[in-house]
Amino acid sequence: MSGNDLGGSATGAAGPACPDAHTLGTLARAEPGALKRVAEALLEDLGDIEVLASRTGLAMLPREDSVTGTLFHLGEVLVAEAHIRLGDGVEGYGAVVGRDLERAMAMAVVDAALAAGRAPRSVHDFVAGEAARHAAEDTARLAKVEATRVEMEAF
Amino acid sequence: MAYAATRGGEEAIAQAERLYRDDLGPLTAGRIAEVRRALPYLVDRVMGEASLYEPDLAALALAQTGGELYEAVLLLRAYRTTQPRLWTAEPVTHRDILTVRRISAAFKDIPGGQILGPTLDYSHRLLKVGVLAGETDVPEPVTPGRTSAPATQPALADWQREQGLVAPERAAKVPLDDIPDVTRDGLLFPPPRAHRLQTLARGDTGGMLALGYANQRGYGPVHPAVNDLRLGEAEVRLRHPRGTVFSAGRVRVSETEMVSKDPRADTLKLGFCATFGWNEVKTIAGATLDLSMEEQSAFAAADEEFVLYHTEPTEASGFCIHFKMPHYVTFQSSLDALRGANADRDRRAARAKARPKADRMSGAEIEEALS
């Protein structure tokens, strides 16, 4: 992966408090209105926030050709991105497919709160609840897909 | 080709655009949302051809142009140029796509099984005309399976490679920043395979269908069948500044492998095509073209340069419609040549009429006249 030219410094090796890939993915997929309300509620306790980036941009999506293994570009996806820094230097980052800058910023705020260890129980509950909802959505959808499984018989 | 600079008509031009929009009516957020909700496959097609994934913008482009597809694609491609490229995401592979449809026409019993998914393949094509009379057509709900389908499906090509039916993968892995990119490199021939597949991914559905269909009807060197066709969703995986790779969301994708007998070996050959959105006719045609372009052939519809140049939607539609623009110098030149030819013919006819015997002179008379 390349190109994350944000100019912000990484906070070093991810500690146990830092959101992992699953948590970050859950935040990116969270219901936008609920995510924004959670972030809004955090703002007062987080103090000064420096916005390092709030913008839309393109993510080129490479694809592997299943025939030869050749990597090629499928096309570009529009992504909204936010990058912030708290007063204590902890950074938060959000990136979501689409154009919703508020949603990306809300993700960055929640990420920063979690990374700084300053997220109340309700935020952890929100993330867990969203993760469970996403899993249930996928399970229900794939159960409908399973209903279309067909056994072909040749005469 | 000569062009003419023209003047005048500013007011007419302004009114002409107004007249176009006058026919479409007000553009509202509600209309855009309805286009996106009601016409997802059309939105997908436009996103694929524009090579830009953003359904709201694609719906806006469709509404703004009244559904004029090439104008909609052009709008999206123009918008794309206003945005910086910030990332190259993690590559998507065959094996990690959330798969909702997966079929094979060549192999009946495939690893993972055949899943029809959302399709009209086996449906009667009957218009629901009752809706026009005020009825509401509510789709019958799906009766879910007792279990859920696996989120991902194995690659049929992997099984075929294990069986020795197809050649092993051969591409060298390249750093993501070194993947050839037609939007930055331009298309030169012979192109790297990455350019071919990217060009097909952003190709014109109708153009690819026409040329793919021509191959399938015999105007090409291969007679393929669907090896593996999939509709699904791919995760867009980006890197957090802390280094963690995470999914920023999903995008709809289609992909098809076509299979035919390798004319040079006792194995099968596969062609591949993938695109943004759910657009399987495009990927079937594209994978057919990929197979055909591998062969030496006299058919234009299997020639790589012919295929890739003529299935580029913005280039092709732009060139086609540019003939509407003032060509007065070019046409004046043609007209002058035509008038000159006509004048010459008339002069020759007049001379012949003035010397009617000349046409009927005997050989002796001609010799005498020349002596």
What are the structural domain ranges in chain B?
Answer: 15-82, 89-117+150-170+179-320
Sign of the C-alpha dihedral computed for residues B187, B188, B193 and B196 taken in this order: positive
Average pLDDT of span A147-155 = 85
**Secondary structure (DSSP) of B204-270:** -HHHHHHHHHHHHTTSSS---EEEEEEEEEEEEEEE-TTS-EEEEEEEEEEEEEEEEE-TTSSSEEE
Q: For residues B272 and B278, is the Cβ–Cβ distance under 8 A? A: no
A27 Cα to chain B: minimum distance (Å): 9
Contacts of B231 (CB under 8 A, 6+ apart): B99, B100, B101, B102, B117, B118, B252, B253, B254, B278, B280
Dihedral (Cα; B45, B255, B258, B293), 10-degree rounding: 60
Contacts of A77 in chain B (CB under 8 A): 52-54, 89, 236, 251
Tell me, what's the pLDDT at A148? 98
Contact call for A28 and B249, based on CB within 8 A: yes
Residues A149, B169: C-beta atoms closer than 8 Å = no
pLDDT for residue A16: 42
Distance, in angstroms, between A124 CA and closest chain B CA?
18
pLDDT of residue B368: 66
Residue A153: what pLDDT?
A: 74
User: Considering all CA atoms of chain A, what is the largest pairwise distance in Å, rounded to the nearest integer?
Assistant: 72
Tell me how crowded residue B120 is: count the other CB atoms within 10 A of its CB: 7
DSSP at B141:
P
Look-up: residue for tokens 């230097």? A89
Q: What is the pLDDT of residue A7?
A: 33
**Chain A residues closer than 8 Å to B33 by CB:** none
CA distance B53 to A107: 21
Which of A61, A83, A127, A152 best tests the B interface by mutation, with the highest count of B CBs <10 A?
Answer: A61
Question: How far B47 CA sits from the closest chain A CA (Å)?
Answer: 9
Q: Residue A9: what pLDDT? A: 34
Interface A-B, measured as beta-carbon pairs within 8 A, has a size of 291
pTM as predicted: 0.89
Closest CA to A135 of B244, B148, B251, B99: B148
Cβ within 8 Å, pair A68-B169: yes
Q: Are A85 and A110 in contact (CB under 8 A)?
A: no
Residues of A in contact with B275 (CB under 8 A): 74-75
Distance, CA of B257 to CA of B156 (rounded, Å): 9
pLDDT of residue A82: 98
Q: Match 């996403």 to its residue by tokens.
A: A134
Give the model's pLDDT for residue B333.
75
> Across the interface, do A14 and B244 touch by the CB < 8 Å criterion?
yes
Q: Would you place residue A6 in the very low, low, confident or very high pLDDT band (cuts 50, 70, 90)?
A: very low
Q: Is B226 within 8 Å of chain A by CB? A: no
Chain B residues touching A148 at Cβ < 8 A: 101, 115-119
pLDDT tens-place values along chain B, 371 residues long: 455 566 678 899 999 999 999 999 999 999 999 999 999 999 999 999 999 999 999 999 999 999 999 999 999 999 999 999 999 999 999 888 999 999 999 999 999 999 999 999 999 999 999 999 999 999 999 999 999 999 999 999 999 999 999 988 788 889 999 999 999 998 999 999 999 999 999 999 999 999 999 999 999 999 999 999 999 999 999 999 999 999 999 999 999 999 999 878 889 999 999 999 999 999 999 999 999 999 999 999 999 999 999 999 999 999 999 988 877 767 777 778 888 888 888 889 888 888 755 555 666 766 665 65
